[in-house]
Amino acid sequence: MSDIVICECFARDGLQHEPVMLPLATKIALIDRFSEMGLTRIEATSYSNPKVIPQFADASEVLGGIQRRPGVFYKATCANVRAVERALIDSDKGIGANEISLLVSATDSHSLKNLKRTRADQWKNIADMVVAASGQYRLVGTISMAFGCPFEGRVSESEVLRDVEKFSNAGVQLVALGDTTGMAVPAATQRLFAAVISEFPQVVPVAHFHDSRGTGMVNYLAAYESGVRYFDCSMGGVGGHPSKVKYGGGFTGNVCTEDWINLLESMGVNTGVDLQRMLDASAYCESVLGRPLHSKVALSGLNPLLESNEKPAN
């Protein structure tokens, strides 16, 4: 049993950033590699409108082609009721996701930019989606811009906590706080997650941070120290937002899976990940995108002291 749960987001949050459509077989191979390395949560695809995000027009085919492993949650992002209906059709065929995510933004400006809805309208949308899901999935709620917004600046922590409460009241088990454009600092990270853990013990908090300003790792460590055990990452640190939707400017990639796992294992935290398979998957991710990615571990290798962690000191 691992001490931590990492959701690998390369196949969805990562690929949504890419303008080039990857072949179906490659996407399936990616997801299978992630499960083979020991990850128990994988963001597999999105039931997005193909006209908006063509990268996921093959969502059903991807879910139908992967080699499913017992105990693994394969997540699909759903933006509206129509997306949930598509998920249900696939579930009826035996090829569906077993976890779906619901998204709200902490600010109206970002909600209108990213979802084309006000916050109030999106909450109504989420209520309809929960009803449509009819208890068939583990639900994950994500609050984007929880630590700051490029359009509105500071975000009220009390407002974020009210959003967590709304998700909980809707029957959502996991709630992710999103540092969508890398504005969080460790003190704010610890404070907000500690409040979630204290006020909503029935909720499993998830950290979903972007490394836009190089603060992702220190914020994840702060979240871990506050009691968070679920983290979203992406191989090579890729992703951030749809390729045709820009906000925040500059680099917006996710926290890098390889680097975060290396740090955790170096601290003696059991991630449940086969480290050699992780490195192989990392190289494969670079090969399918055809460029070097952002992992420091991919360049420098695992911490050499990891091997000594397994041996008693003399």
Class of residue 23 by CB neighbours under 10 A (exposed 0-12, middle 13-18, buried 19+): exposed
Domains (range + CATH), the chain: 5-300 (3.20.20.70)
Question: What are the pLDDT digits (tens) for 10-21?
Answer: 999 999 878 888
Question: What are the pLDDT digits (tens) for 100-136?
Answer: 999 999 999 999 988 889 999 999 999 999 999 999 9
Distance CA 28, CA 32 (A): 6
* 265 pLDDT higher than 50: yes
Are 105 and 145 a contacting pair, CB within 8 Å? Answer: yes
Question: What single-letter DSSP state applies at residue 54?
Answer: G
Helix (H, G, I), strand (E, B) or coil at 133: helix
Distance CA 70, CA 257 (A): 22
Question: What are the pLDDT digits (tens) for 199-211?
Answer: 999 999 999 999 9
Q: Which of 184, 293, 190, 274 is nearest to 234 (CA)?
A: 293
* 310 pLDDT higher than 60: no
pLDDT-based confidence at residue 241 (cuts at 50, 70, 90): low
Say if strands 5-8 and 230-233 run parallel, antiparallel, or are unpaired.
parallel
Q: Which of 240, 206, 234, 289 is nearest to 16 (CA)?
A: 240
User: Facing residues of 46 across strands?
Assistant: 77
pLDDT-based confidence at residue 217 (cuts at 50, 70, 90): very high
Distance CA 302, CA 122 (A): 42
What is this structure's pTM? 0.94
Helical H segments across the chain, by residue range: 24-36, 59-65, 81-92, 108-115, 119-133, 157-169, 186-199, 216-225, 257-266, 275-289, 296-300, 306-309
Helix (H, G, I), strand (E, B) or coil at 176: strand
pLDDT for the residue 53: 84
Are 33 and 277 a contacting pair, CB within 8 Å? Answer: yes
Rounded to the nearest integer, the mean pLDDT of the chain is 93
